[in-house]
């Protein structure tokens, strides 16, 4: 006899899923009894070698871990070497590759982006010259999003803090729009007991209506010919296929098929002439997910207008000279001055940034390279964590696990042999951040809001597990 579930499923949910799955329903329940799989996605521009771990089928950079370690004890996690992400969500890679096929320098919107799993994935997949706008309506969550994007370090992301309706002023602007919509959360029942307690048939209907409203609010921002990628973490047809049918009835759209490998176990479903892809936990190693891609076939192209945000201006030659050599390939960037900070974005992105700044509230943009202090500049955390950092410009101090963890706790560590002035703390060849040595002391410039609050002894013990799982496997 199988063990009981660790939570009580709502009867209405059981009835509907049982009707949908038929003889597969016992296998579905058995999957919910098992621990949720643990998976990570590597940053391909920071970690160039693959660990000896089981890969996730639909992405080049995803891997399963045999157990869940205490990630906060791993400096690589803090330094953006990898992102802890649910495996099925990484299917976005397949849909996005289809969406940008043949598009040069795409401008992409992740409408509901916090905490940043899908945004960091998109940032890694963007071609050179592409730009991602990662948006979050709740300011506290937008700050978390900006932190994760900064740590990822690709420098091709603008984080904004806006309601979906605000994007209507950027009509015809985006080549791709991802709507990872708030939903009833059925696919997360195994991981989140609170989602089980909050579920009801009424909440499903409210979620469906909210999802339609979000799409409708932002729909004009998508170019004609642009692609909407729609996803939820629920099995509900009312939130998935029915919303595709609603879109088909109210807008001019066509299907964008995503190739599937039959061995993946992904279920293809139809909604009129549109397709969707459903992930069940008994058929794939991950949580519940639905994803679809549709192309907008009408509408108007964006008509640019000058930015109303005077805080964003092109950096002067003098300002750029102060950070000369700090980034590799300096000709590949657009340099911006924003609120006494020097930012670097993909070359040619000034026009797009002006449109974004003139219509949206920017939280962070590109690589934050330096803060302008009187007649000089100080390097910022975003530079240390950037994949574009020129490591030959600053002294690099490679440190052992204990010193790395002390640094992340914002202790004033003084790496042996470090010279006076600015130095870069690095762990296993992955830069973490800045210290500034002044004779016999050193100031720690790891941001206060990112400080590791874990007890040092506990963190050191936990880091040994990460070492076995990720670094030496």
Query: Which residues participate in catalysis according to the annotation?
Result: 233
Give buried/exposed letters for 285-308 (b at 16+ CB in 10 A, else e): bbbbbbbbbbbbeebeebeeeebe
Q: What are phi and psi of 371, to 5 degrees?
A: -100, 130
CA atoms of 365 and 462, how far apart (whole Å): 34
Tokens of 58: 């639909």
CA quadruple 383, 385, 388, 390: dihedral positive or negative?
A: positive
Nearest to 227 by CA among 109, 119, 320: 109
Q: Residue count of the chain, please give it.
A: 473
Q: Is the peptide bond before 115 cis (omega within 30 degrees of 0)?
A: yes
Q: What is the Cα 270 distance to its own chain's centre?
A: 28
Distances, alpha carbon 470 to alpha carbons 26, 47, 67, in Å: 34, 11, 11
CA atoms of 412 and 419, how far apart (whole Å): 15
Alpha helices in 324-437 (DSSP H): 350-359, 381-384, 401-408
User: What is the DSSP secondary-structure string of 151-213?
Assistant: HH--S-EEEE---GGGGGGGTT-EEEEEEE-----GGGTTT-HHHHHH--HHHHHHHHHHHHH
DSSP character at residue 236: -
Q: Which helix (H) or strand (E) holds 39?
A: strand 38-42
CA atoms of 304 and 191, how far apart (whole Å): 45
């Amino acid at each position: 006899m199988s063990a009981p579930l660790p939570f009580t499923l709502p009867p209405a949910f059981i009835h509907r899923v049982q009707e949908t799955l038929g003889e597969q329903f016992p296998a579905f329940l058995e999957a919910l009894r098992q621990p949720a799989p643990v998976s990570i996605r590597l940053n391909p521009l920071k970690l160039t070698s693959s660990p000896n771990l089981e890969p996730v089928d639909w992405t080049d950079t995803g891997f399963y871990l045999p157990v869940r370690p205490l990630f906060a004890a791993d400096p690589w996690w803090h330094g953006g070497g990898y992102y802890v992400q649910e495996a099925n969500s990484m299917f976005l890679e397949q849909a996005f590759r289809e969406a940008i096929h043949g598009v040069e320098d795409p401008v992409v919107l992740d409408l509901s982006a916090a905490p940043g799993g899908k945004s960091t994935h998109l940032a890694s997949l963007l071609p050179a010259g592409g730009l991602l706008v990662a948006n979050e309506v709740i300011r506290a969550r937008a700050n978390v999003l900006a932190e994760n994007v900064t740590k990822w370090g690709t420098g091709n992301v603008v984080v904004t803090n806006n309601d979906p309706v605000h994007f209507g002023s950027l009509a015809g602007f985006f080549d791709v729009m991802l709507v990872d919509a708030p939903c009833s959360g059925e696919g997360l029942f195994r991981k989140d007991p609170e989602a089980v307690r909050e579920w009801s048939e009424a909440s499903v209907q409210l979620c469906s209506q909210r999802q339609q409203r979000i799409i409708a609010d932002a729909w004009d921002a998508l170019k004609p010919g642009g692609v909407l990628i729609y996803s939820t973490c629920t099995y509900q047809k009312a939130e998935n296929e029915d919303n595709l049918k609603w879109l088909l009835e109210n807008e001019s759209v066509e299907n964008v098929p995503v190739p599937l490998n039959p061995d993946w176990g992904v279920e293809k479903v139809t909604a009129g002439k549109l397709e969707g892809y459903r992930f069940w936990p008994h058929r794939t190693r991950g949580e519940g997910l639905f994803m679809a891609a549709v192309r907008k076939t009408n509408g108007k192209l964006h008509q640019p207008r000058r930015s109303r945000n005077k805080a964003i201006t092109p950096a002067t030659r003098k300002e750029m000279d102060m950070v000369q050599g700090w980034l590799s390939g300096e000709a590949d960037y657009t340099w911006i001055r924003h609120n006494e900070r020097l930012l670097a974005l993909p070359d040619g992105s000034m026009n797009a940034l002006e449109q974004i700044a003139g219509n949206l509230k920017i939280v962070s943009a590109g690589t934050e390279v330096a803060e302008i202090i009187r007649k000089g500049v100080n390097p910022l955390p975003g530079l240390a964590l950037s994949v574009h950092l020129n490591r030959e410009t600053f002294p690099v101090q490679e440190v052992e696990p204990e010193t790395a963890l002390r640094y992340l706790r914002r202790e004033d560590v003084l790496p042996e042999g470090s010279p006076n002035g600015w130095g870069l703390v690095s762990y296993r060849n992955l830069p973490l951040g800045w210290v500034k040595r002044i004779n016999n002391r050193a100031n720690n410039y790891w941001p206060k809001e990112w400080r590791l609050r874990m007890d040092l002894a506990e963190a050191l013990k936990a880091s040994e597990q990460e070492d076995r799982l990720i670094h030496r496997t």
